[in-house]
Structure 1
Amino acid sequence: MYCLQWLIPVLLMPKPLNPAFIYNHAMFIILYLTGFFLVRKPCTICSLVFLAAVFLICYNCVGNCILWHCTEDECQGADCDIG
């Protein structure tokens, strides 16, 4: 699980507050992850753990998804405190 030390900080990176930079941030993250998987070739377990974490974070749509921006319409219940 040594390779997870390079993947976990990606989940903790803050998204930009300016909506104009969300696309650039998502492209940077996608390019970083693509380069990481091509160069470092992490083990299967680390890859599955990381992809499961990304899926769960983005599926909940709490506003922390690193790949896209969740709007207020997509938020459900008291889990979403945007604004």
Structure 2
Amino acid sequence: MYCLQWLIPVLLIPKPLNPALIYNHAMFIVLYLTSFFLVRKPCTICSLVFLAAVFLICYSCVGNCVLWHCPDDNCEGVGCP
């Protein structure tokens, strides 16, 4: 799990507030991850743990998804003010 020390901080990099910079941020993250996987060749377990964490964060849209922008919550259900 030594290789996770270089992957976990990628999940903590905040997205820019300016919407014009979200594409640049996503491209930076994709290029960083691609180069990391090509150069360091992390073990299979570390890769699966990291990809599962990215999938869960991006699928739930609760946290800071590094790959795409989560849509805003529109109040359309029961209990909306």
After TM superposition, the score normalised by the length of structure 1 is 0.86
Aligned residues with identical type, % of pairs: 88
- Measured in 2, the distance between the counterparts of 1:74 and 1:5 equals 36
Runs of 5+ consecutive residues of structure 2 not aligned to the other structure = none
Higher RCO, 1 or 2 (CA under 8 Å, sep at least 6)?
A: 2
Structure 1 contact 11–54 (Cα < 8 Å) conserved: yes
Residue deviations 1:40-69, cap 9 Å, x none?
A: 000000000000000000000125100000
User: Could you say which residue in structure 2 is the equivalent of 1:46?
Assistant: 46
Tell me how large the CA RMSD over aligned residues is. 2.1
**What residue identity is the alignment partner of 1:34?**
T
Runs of 5+ consecutive residues of structure 1 not aligned to the other structure = 78-83
Q: How does 1:1-83 map to 2 (within 5 A)?
A: 1-73=1-73
Larger Rg: 2
- Cα deviation for residue 72 of structure 1 reads 1.3
Where has structure 1 moved over 3 Å in runs of 4 or more?
none
- The aligned length equals 77
